[in-house]
Structure 1
Amino acid sequence: MDEEDNLDAFNTISEGEADYNHSKWFGAIFYYLINLGRKPYKYFTNSKFSKRNLWTGYFLKLLLLVLLIYLGIILF
């Protein structure tokens, strides 16, 4: 195994970039489901909706986390 091959294995996105992309993806799915699939999914992943999808996905993930903590406290 060459050193170049070893360096290419670590050429991936960082944790912050992964979270950013996940939030955008989560937001786009939310808006797609809100519109009941009347518009194609590609429409919601358009770059003009990037910031909206990012913030929506971020707050949905935050809400899900708070809900899980709340249910964990209530049930246990």
Structure 2
Amino acid sequence: MDINQIREILPHRFPFLLVDRVIEYKGGEYAVGIKNVTINDNFFPGHFPERPIMPGVLMVESEHIDTQFIHFQGTNLI
């Protein structure tokens, strides 16, 4: 499922739509999402300047968005 299809299902938008693709989905059970990041993403310069990593809170939020995808997909709230 690509970003356009995901945007039809989820209310989230940039910068907090932290999933670019859903590569696997089993109705009501699980979803596997992908978030593409580059060194140009706005959180890297300050986290950490000498060794940039994606902040853990954004990783957790990305997982949360996957669970919301399961919820919205399964409840016909589209």
- Greater strand proportion: 2
TM-score for the superposition, normalised by structure 1: 0.35
TM-score for the superposition, normalised by structure 2: 0.35
- Greater helix proportion: 1
